[in-house]
Amino acid sequence: MKTFRPERTQRRRILRAFAALPIAGLPLTTLLGALARAHAEPAAVSDAALTAAAQILNVMDFEPLAKATLPPAHFAYLATGADDDQTVRLNHEAFSHYQIRSRRLIDVSHADLSTQVFGQPWTCPIYLSAVGSMRAFHPDGELAVARAAGAKSALMMLSTVATTSIEDAIAARGTPVWQQLYTTDDWSITQAIVRRAERAGSSAIVLTVDNLTGRNNETLERAKRVDTRDCAQCHVSDFAGYTRRKPMLAGLDLSHATELSPLNMSWDFFARLRGVVSGKLIIKGIVTAEDAALAVRHGADGIVVSNHGGRDEETLRPSIDCLPEVVAAVKRRVPVFVDGGIRRGTDVFKALALGATGVGIGRPYVWGLAAFGQSGVEAVIDLLTRELRQIMRQAGTPTIAAITPEHVIHG
Ligand SMILES: Cc1cc2nc3c(=O)[nH]c(=O)nc-3n(C[C@H](O)[C@H](O)[C@H](O)COP(=O)(O)O)c2cc1C
Ligand SMILES: CCCCCCC(=O)C(=O)O
């Protein structure tokens, strides 16, 4: 990559853009770095990128910056979902159907966002959900995310198909991460990944069950036709090449494998997995009361209500709409987490009111990563945290425990 040396007039424009950035603490070098990656030639620094940088008010404002920074096929891998991307859109839109019932005259001078998960203190209920191949979005990939998670005391869930090993991610975060699990139908592979993750200090194994081999992502396929650059980091077209690039799969014999989320996976597999996971075992991708009950019966320690950000199947059922029935079925026996379409502090608030213990984000922090590296991820966490604090005050809920189902209504 060429070094970015802006001309004097460009520098003035960049400085103006930076000065207008309302997010304190994004260093100029970070902004310049992002623009340098976005435009290998300084002369190509576009007005659109500068304007977008100057207008960051909320996490969604990072998306156009990420788009300007990334090769089209990488951005498409990040942005898109299954079929017509309708579930992706509905995941967020559905939050507008829930309205907040604010209570008045409650002392909210000390809003406390801290909570407890599995007996561990969390400074805030927002966590960074698993996203694979993050070096496709920024050279520092998961390392930058882990550092940001450490700086902000946010929980990070590391993908099996991360481009950083769990050992390096934990070292960068400074405290354990959760290991998300994809595996093959070869039991020895499953055991090896679990053993390695637990030896490295992973405090939970999160089995993803909603991403069956063979998703239909037409938007991504179209983007790959126009952008023919090597996207092997994030695209699974060449299975052997793809898995070779994933540190968590290094040293494993995958020569007989063709998939990482086998079609024959069943509750028997989950029960067997329960037998080898010594820490917490969480199941990610549950969207019905029936499966939530089965998960608890099979020994799950936690459930993530998720449709994988609408990436795998076009169900048109937003994950926030699935949360209440799962919470009802679980009857407080294990914590329930949710992700999908969370873009505002009010979305986090509504999810908590509907019974979530923790609320995951995917794309928003990757937009921050793509645009600004570690600082961008931190800024996304800060923005959502600030918005959550604000709505907690407005709604008369000074603590996370004070947020109850009475604070939200489906309209
Ligand atoms: C680019 C990308 C890669 C992802 N990779 C994984 C993964 O490796 N494992 C997994 O369980 N979920 C993965 N997810 C799903 C996220 O963990 C999460 O469920 C989803 O992104 C939440 O929706 P949101 O992006 O609207 O916040 C990925 C999502 C994206 C956008
Ligand atoms: C099941 C193997 C491919 C996983 C790709 C990572 C992922 O979950 C995604 O949404 O992308």
CA dist list (Å): 50 to 64, 79, 313: 11, 21, 36
Render 217-252 in DSSP notation, one character per residue: -HHHHHHHHH--S--TTT--SSHHHHHHT-GGGTT-
Q: How many angstroms separate the alpha carbon of residue 88 from the centre of ligand 2?
A: 15
339 lines ligand 1 (CB under 6 A): yes
Burial of residue 175 (number of CB atoms within 10 Å: 0-12, 13-18, 19+)? middle
For residue 283, which ligand has an atom nearest its CA?
A: 1
CA dist list (Å): 347 to 304, 323, 395: 16, 13, 13
Name the token pair of 93: 């839109």
Task: Say what the pLDDT of residue 49 is.
Answer: 60
The CATH code of the domain at 79-410 is 3.20.20.70
129 lines ligand 1 (CB under 6 A): yes
Which is the closest atom of ligand 2 to the Cα of 133? 6
Name the closest-CA residue to atom 8, ligand 2: 132
For residue 215, which ligand has an atom nearest its CA?
A: 2
**pLDDT per residue as tens, the chain (411 positions):** 233 334 455 445 544 444 444 444 454 455 555 555 544 444 444 566 666 666 799 999 999 999 999 999 999 999 999 999 999 999 999 999 999 999 999 999 999 999 999 999 999 999 999 999 999 999 999 999 999 999 999 999 999 999 999 999 999 999 999 999 999 999 999 999 999 999 999 999 999 999 987 889 998 888 888 887 767 778 777 888 899 999 999 999 999 888 899 899 999 999 999 999 999 999 999 999 999 999 999 999 999 999 999 999 999 999 999 999 999 999 999 999 999 999 999 999 999 999 999 999 999 999 999 999 999 999 999 999 999 999 999 999 999 999 999 999 998
ipTM: 0.99
Name the token pair of 394: 């407005």
Name the closest-CA residue to atom 28, ligand 1: 131
Q: How many angstroms separate the alpha carbon of residue 312 from the centre of ligand 1?
A: 10
Burial of residue 60 (number of CB atoms within 10 Å: 0-12, 13-18, 19+)? middle
Q: How many angstroms separate the alpha carbon of residue 379 from the centre of ligand 1?
A: 19
Q: How many angstroms separate the alpha carbon of residue 341 from the centre of ligand 2?
A: 18
Which of 97, 308, 407, 410 is catalytic? The answer is 308
Q: Which of 331, 336, 363 is nearest to 351 (CA)?
A: 336
Q: How far apart are CA 350 and CA 408, in angstroms?
A: 6
Active site residue 308: yes
pTM for the model = 0.91
Name the residue ranges covered by the structural domains of the chain.
Answer: 1-49, 79-410
Q: Are 301 and 314 in contact (CB under 8 A)?
A: no
Name the token pair of 135: 């070096």
